[in-house]
Amino acid sequence: MDIALGKEDLTFAEQMRSFFQTEIPAEIRLKGERGEHWGREEYVTTQQILNAHGLAVPHWPAAWGGQDWSALQRHIWAEEMALAHVPPPLAFNAAMVGPVIATFGSEEQKRRFLPPTANLDIWWCQGFSEPNAGSDLASLTTRAVRDGDEYVVNGQKTWTTLAQWADWIFCLVRTDPEAKKQQGISFLLIDMKSPGLTVRPIRLIDGGYEVNEVFFDDVRVPADQLVGEENHGWDYAKFLLGNERTGVAGTGIIKARIMRLRKVAAETTSHGRPLLEDPLFLARLTRLEVETTALTMSVMRVLANEAKHPGTPDPVSSVLKLRGSELQQEATELLVDVLGPSALPYREAHSIPDGFASLPDGAIDAMPTYFNWRKASIYSGSSEVQRSIIARAILKF
């Protein structure tokens, strides 16, 4: 397969690049370029700009804001966005609950939820994992019992990312405890302001507050907020996770980090010469670039296969997820090695400690980012799970 972009695709990439560089506020992009974390308002501002131009949810049905783009065009859109250091559309909205509602929701649910979901007027979070149900998600125990026109929900979710900012949560709940564990699960939409719902933060090793525990104590949920059919939630969850893994290789993210690595290395000296001239550093950087190019080629092959066989799941996506997460982590590791002691200060201290008066751009967030991206080998299915899928579905072990 020829993985080079054709003339039309190159033109499309240039259009995306120009849009991101001119329409998204420079201060938001600069923050991303420096490796700093975006806040809630920066995500909202960016997604609303994208949505106003029809670029927030291109993979959705056209009736709800989508574009009639090819899989390759969606890949180019995502990669150019990352290379321009633009906050991506919130994954919980754009890649997860939105497609589920668009595909399985009632017409009333589509009218009620899809426009504000695309525009980030509603911020969603994901209520899947539980203390004893992570990779083995089907073991979840949060219960929803039908009571007239409502469900009464009791239980706990954990590792709920950005629940402190969320307006709504989409949850997997057990509605038939007697059925086989995958067959008794339903998919509910729950207002985060519901009485009996409590959010408790989990402080992470990087010092940040990104994930939470969410507790449900007799939370009453209108029955019309059930998506699809009762006890069919596992099917919708599999559909959601398939969408989540579509772009999980993160080639644009890795390439943006390589750009940052080169910039920091150009400003750093080793034994009296620029680090970019150090053969040991160049060997590590070149290996990372070559591996990223190889991953990009694999992504292109998967996209070509998707174009030939639309709607057919490709187990090779597990290879993309596995290798992509590894390279994302390698890029953060190399940046920390380049920065050395300059990577140690934490932004939470609100000031730069003595001896760190002159830091390279973004150094203050380097170590928290390194710690935070340990998660890459867990989200969207852990590396161990991906290796099992590869063994069964590709290698036929």
- Flag whether 360 is in a domain: yes
What is residue 269's predicted lDDT score, i.e. its pLDDT? 81
Number of domains in the chain: 3
Q: For residue range 274-298, what is the model confidence (pLDDT) as tens digits? A: 888 899 999 999 999 999 999 998 8
What is the mean pLDDT for each group of 10 consecutive residues in the chain (397 residues)? Answer: 74 97 97 87 98 97 94 92 96 96 97 98 97 87 98 97 96 96 95 98 82 97 98 92 67 92 86 86 96 91 75 76 93 91 62 47 74 84 85 86
- Flag whether 102 is in a domain: no
What is residue 385's predicted lDDT score, i.e. its pLDDT? 83
Instruction: Give residue for tokens 């754009």.
Output: 94
Task: State whether 264 and 372 are in the same domain.
Answer: yes
Residue 37: give the domain boundaries.
7-89
Q: Which two tokens stand for residue 196?
A: 């009996």
The DSSP element (H or E) to which 134 belongs, if any, is none
What is residue 313's predicted lDDT score, i.e. its pLDDT? 62
The CB density around residue 288, as the number of other CB atoms within 10 Å, is: 19
- Flag whether 290 is in a domain: yes
- Flag whether 49 is in a domain: yes
- Flag whether 103 is in a domain: no
Active-site annotation holds for 107? no
Task: State whether 361 and 250 are in the same domain.
Answer: yes
Domain termination site, one of 209, 231, 253: 231
What is residue 244's predicted lDDT score, i.e. its pLDDT? 55
Residues 6+ apart with CB under 8 A from 63: none
CA gap 242, 43 in Å, rounded:
24
What is residue 318's predicted lDDT score, i.e. its pLDDT? 85
What Cα–Cα distance (Å) separates residue 92 from each residue in 14, 17, 217? Answer: 28, 24, 24
The DSSP element (H or E) to which 147 belongs, if any, is strand 143-147
What is residue 306's predicted lDDT score, i.e. its pLDDT? 72
Q: Give yes or no for a contact between 55 and 77, defined as CB atoms under 8 angstroms apart.
A: yes
What Cα–Cα distance (Å) separates residue 261 from each residue in 32, 340, 352? Answer: 13, 13, 22
Catalytic residue (choose from 79, 80, 210, 244): 244
What is residue 304's predicted lDDT score, i.e. its pLDDT? 79
Domain termination site, one of 68, 89, 110: 89
